Protein backbone atom coordinates (compact mmCIF):
# COMPACT_ATOMS: atom_id res chain seq x y z
CA UNK A 1 0.00 0.00 0.00
CA UNK A 2 2.79 2.41 0.96
CA UNK A 3 4.65 1.60 -2.26
CA UNK A 4 1.51 2.29 -4.33
CA UNK A 5 1.04 5.65 -2.58
CA UNK A 6 4.67 6.49 -3.37
CA UNK A 7 4.19 5.70 -7.06
CA UNK A 8 1.00 7.77 -7.14
CA UNK A 9 2.73 10.72 -5.46
CA UNK A 10 5.61 10.59 -7.95
CA UNK A 11 3.21 10.43 -10.90
CA UNK A 12 1.21 13.40 -9.63
CA UNK A 13 4.43 15.37 -8.95
CA UNK A 14 5.75 14.72 -12.46
CA UNK A 15 2.46 15.86 -13.97
CA UNK A 16 2.16 18.99 -11.81
CA UNK A 17 5.71 20.27 -12.22
CA UNK A 18 5.81 19.48 -15.93
CA UNK A 19 2.51 21.31 -16.43
CA UNK A 20 3.85 24.29 -14.50
CA UNK A 21 7.02 24.27 -16.61
CA UNK A 22 4.91 24.09 -19.78
CA UNK A 23 3.13 27.28 -18.72
CA UNK A 24 6.45 28.99 -17.89
CA UNK A 25 7.91 28.09 -21.28
CA UNK A 26 4.76 29.10 -23.14
CA UNK A 27 4.71 32.53 -21.49
CA UNK A 28 8.32 33.09 -22.54
CA UNK A 29 7.87 31.77 -26.07
CA UNK A 30 9.98 28.63 -25.55
CA UNK A 31 8.64 25.53 -27.37
CA UNK A 32 7.74 22.68 -24.98
CA UNK A 33 9.75 19.64 -26.09
CA UNK A 34 8.58 16.06 -26.36
CA UNK A 35 9.27 13.96 -23.26
CA UNK A 36 10.30 16.96 -21.14
CA UNK A 37 10.22 16.08 -17.41
CA UNK A 38 10.56 18.70 -14.68
CA UNK A 39 10.57 17.79 -10.98
CA UNK A 40 10.29 20.75 -8.63
CA UNK A 41 10.14 24.50 -9.39
CA UNK A 42 12.17 25.66 -12.40
CA UNK A 43 13.84 29.06 -12.56
CA UNK A 44 13.54 30.46 -16.07
CA UNK A 45 14.49 33.78 -17.67
CA UNK A 46 14.35 33.97 -21.46
CA UNK A 47 15.03 37.42 -22.81
CA UNK A 48 17.09 35.61 -25.45
CA UNK A 49 16.37 32.20 -27.00
CA UNK A 50 16.21 28.85 -25.21
CA UNK A 51 15.96 25.58 -27.13
CA UNK A 52 15.38 22.34 -25.22
CA UNK A 53 15.66 18.95 -26.91
CA UNK A 54 13.51 15.86 -26.48
CA UNK A 55 13.47 13.67 -23.38
CA UNK A 56 15.27 16.18 -21.16
CA UNK A 57 14.89 15.73 -17.40
CA UNK A 58 15.46 18.62 -14.98
CA UNK A 59 15.41 17.90 -11.24
CA UNK A 60 15.06 20.92 -8.97
CA UNK A 61 14.67 19.57 -5.46
CA UNK A 62 16.33 17.06 -3.12
CA UNK A 63 12.88 15.58 -2.67
CA UNK A 64 13.37 13.97 -6.08
CA UNK A 65 17.14 13.45 -6.03
CA UNK A 66 18.88 12.93 -2.68
CA UNK A 67 22.33 14.08 -3.77
CA UNK A 68 21.98 17.46 -2.02
CA UNK A 69 20.49 19.90 -4.51
CA UNK A 70 20.92 23.40 -3.09
CA UNK A 71 18.50 25.28 -5.34
CA UNK A 72 16.18 24.82 -8.32
CA UNK A 73 17.77 24.75 -11.75
CA UNK A 74 18.15 28.22 -13.25
CA UNK A 75 18.01 28.58 -17.04
CA UNK A 76 18.87 32.12 -18.10
CA UNK A 77 19.28 33.50 -21.62
CA UNK A 78 20.07 37.21 -21.69
CA UNK A 79 19.28 39.69 -24.45
CA UNK A 80 20.39 38.27 -27.80
CA UNK A 81 21.77 35.08 -26.18
CA UNK A 82 21.09 31.49 -27.28
CA UNK A 83 20.97 28.59 -24.83
CA UNK A 84 20.62 25.14 -26.41
CA UNK A 85 20.13 21.88 -24.50
CA UNK A 86 20.28 18.66 -26.51
CA UNK A 87 18.20 15.48 -26.40
CA UNK A 88 18.23 13.02 -23.50
CA UNK A 89 20.12 15.36 -21.18
CA UNK A 90 19.73 15.31 -17.39
CA UNK A 91 20.21 18.34 -15.12
CA UNK A 92 20.03 18.51 -11.31
CA UNK A 93 19.89 21.88 -9.56
CA UNK A 94 22.28 23.63 -11.98
CA UNK A 95 22.67 27.34 -12.70
CA UNK A 96 23.13 27.95 -16.43
CA UNK A 97 23.58 31.64 -17.26
CA UNK A 98 23.93 32.47 -20.94
CA UNK A 99 24.77 35.99 -22.05
CA UNK A 100 26.05 35.01 -25.52
CA UNK A 101 25.95 31.30 -26.40
CA UNK A 102 25.89 28.02 -24.47
CA UNK A 103 25.43 24.77 -26.38
CA UNK A 104 24.88 21.53 -24.46
CA UNK A 105 24.86 18.35 -26.51
CA UNK A 106 22.88 15.12 -26.37
CA UNK A 107 23.03 12.58 -23.52
CA UNK A 108 24.81 15.05 -21.23
CA UNK A 109 24.66 14.58 -17.44
CA UNK A 110 24.90 17.78 -15.39
CA UNK A 111 25.27 16.89 -11.72
CA UNK A 112 23.88 18.63 -8.67
CA UNK A 113 24.72 22.32 -8.20
CA UNK A 114 26.84 22.73 -11.34
CA UNK A 115 27.36 26.24 -12.70
CA UNK A 116 27.81 27.10 -16.37
CA UNK A 117 28.57 30.76 -17.09
CA UNK A 118 29.64 32.20 -20.45
CA UNK A 119 30.33 35.60 -18.87
CA UNK A 120 32.53 37.11 -16.17
CA UNK A 121 29.48 39.12 -15.02
CA UNK A 122 31.77 42.04 -14.07
CA UNK A 123 35.04 43.45 -15.51
CA UNK A 124 38.25 42.65 -13.65
CA UNK A 125 39.38 46.29 -13.59
CA UNK A 126 37.82 48.11 -10.64
CA UNK A 127 37.29 51.35 -12.56
CA UNK A 128 35.52 49.44 -15.31
CA UNK A 129 33.20 47.99 -12.66
CA UNK A 130 32.54 51.44 -11.20
CA UNK A 131 31.73 52.82 -14.65
CA UNK A 132 29.54 49.87 -15.61
CA UNK A 133 31.60 48.87 -18.65
CA UNK A 134 30.90 45.51 -20.35
CA UNK A 135 32.70 42.39 -19.16
CA UNK A 136 34.24 39.53 -21.15
CA UNK A 137 31.99 36.84 -22.62
CA UNK A 138 32.74 33.81 -24.81
CA UNK A 139 30.66 30.83 -26.01
CA UNK A 140 30.61 27.50 -24.19
CA UNK A 141 30.19 24.14 -25.94
CA UNK A 142 29.59 20.90 -24.02
CA UNK A 143 29.61 18.04 -26.48
CA UNK A 144 27.62 14.78 -26.50
CA UNK A 145 27.81 12.30 -23.60
CA UNK A 146 29.76 14.58 -21.26
CA UNK A 147 29.26 14.02 -17.53
CA UNK A 148 29.77 16.94 -15.16
CA UNK A 149 30.08 15.75 -11.57
CA UNK A 150 28.40 17.56 -8.69
CA UNK A 151 29.49 21.15 -8.12
CA UNK A 152 31.46 21.58 -11.35
CA UNK A 153 31.87 25.13 -12.67
CA UNK A 154 32.30 25.66 -16.43
CA UNK A 155 33.50 29.15 -17.33
CA UNK A 156 33.41 31.25 -20.49
CA UNK A 157 35.07 30.20 -23.75
CA UNK A 158 35.36 26.51 -22.87
CA UNK A 159 34.69 23.48 -25.07
CA UNK A 160 34.40 20.10 -23.33
CA UNK A 161 34.91 17.28 -25.79
CA UNK A 162 32.52 14.39 -26.29
CA UNK A 163 32.33 11.61 -23.68
CA UNK A 164 34.58 13.45 -21.22
CA UNK A 165 34.00 13.27 -17.47
CA UNK A 166 34.69 16.21 -15.15
CA UNK A 167 35.30 15.30 -11.50
CA UNK A 168 33.08 16.78 -8.80
CA UNK A 169 34.02 20.25 -7.60
CA UNK A 170 36.26 21.06 -10.56
CA UNK A 171 36.49 24.46 -12.25
CA UNK A 172 36.85 24.21 -16.03
CA UNK A 173 38.66 27.24 -17.45
CA UNK A 174 40.22 25.72 -20.58
CA UNK A 175 39.19 23.29 -23.31
CA UNK A 176 38.99 19.59 -22.46
CA UNK A 177 39.71 17.08 -25.22
CA UNK A 178 37.22 14.29 -26.00
CA UNK A 179 37.37 11.05 -23.95
CA UNK A 180 39.19 12.77 -21.10
CA UNK A 181 38.84 12.40 -17.34
CA UNK A 182 39.59 15.85 -15.91
CA UNK A 183 39.53 17.35 -12.46
CA UNK A 184 40.93 20.03 -10.18
CA UNK A 185 40.94 23.79 -9.83
CA UNK A 186 41.56 24.64 -12.57
CA UNK A 187 40.58 21.37 -14.23
CA UNK A 188 43.25 19.43 -16.11
CA UNK A 189 43.43 16.02 -17.74
CA UNK A 190 44.10 13.27 -15.20
CA UNK A 191 43.28 10.24 -17.32
CA UNK A 192 41.29 8.83 -20.18
CA UNK A 193 37.74 7.56 -20.50
CA UNK A 194 36.94 4.24 -22.15
CA UNK A 195 34.69 5.28 -25.05
CA UNK A 196 33.31 1.71 -25.27
CA UNK A 197 31.95 1.76 -21.72
CA UNK A 198 28.15 1.90 -21.79
CA UNK A 199 27.20 2.00 -18.10
CA UNK A 200 26.69 5.60 -16.97
CA UNK A 201 26.01 6.74 -13.41
CA UNK A 202 22.89 8.71 -12.64
CA UNK A 203 22.91 12.48 -12.21
Q: How confident is the model over 158-175, as pLDDT tens digits?
A: 999 999 999 999 999 999
Residue 197 lies in a domain: no
User: How many domains are contained in the chain?
Assistant: 1
Each residue's pLDDT tens digit, 16-55: 888 888 898 888 888 889 999 999 899 999 999 999 999 9
**198 assigned to some structural domain:** no
Q: If you average pLDDT over every residue of the chain, what do you get?
A: 90
Looking at the domain assignment, is residue 200 inside a domain? no
Q: What share of the chain is helix, strand, coil (3-state, %, to 5)?
A: 15, 30, 55
122 in active site: yes
Does residue 202 sit within a domain?
A: no
Sign of the CA dihedral running 181, 74, 77, 58: positive
- Percent of the chain whose pLDDT exceeds 90: 73
Residue 90 lies in a domain: yes
Instruction: Classify residue 52: in a domain, yes or no.
Output: yes
Residues spanned by the domain of 10: 2-192
Q: ∠ CA(121), CA(93), CA(25), 5° rounding?
A: 80
- For residue 5, what pLDDT is reported? 65
Inform me whether the pLDDT recorded for 178 exceeds 50.
Answer: yes
- The band of 194, judged by pLDDT with boundaries at 50, 70 and 90, is confident
Query: Which CATH number characterizes residue 186's domain?
Result: 2.160.10.10
Of the two residues 197 and 136, the one the predictor is more confident about is 136
Catalytic residue among 37, 122, 138, 159: 122
pTM, entire model: 0.87
Residue 67 lies in a domain: yes
Query: Tell me: the pLDDT tens digits for 95-110?
Result: 999 999 999 999 999 9
- Specify the pLDDT at position 1: 53
Strands 180-183, 188-192: pairing kind: antiparallel
Task: Examine residue 46 and state whether it is found in any structural domain, yes or no.
Answer: yes
Amino acid sequence: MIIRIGYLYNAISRFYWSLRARVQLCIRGVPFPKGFVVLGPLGLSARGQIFIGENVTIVNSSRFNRVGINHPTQLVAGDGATLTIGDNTGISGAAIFCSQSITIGNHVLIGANCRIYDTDFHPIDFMARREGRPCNTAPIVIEDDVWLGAGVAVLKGVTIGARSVIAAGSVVTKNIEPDTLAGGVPARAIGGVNAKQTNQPTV
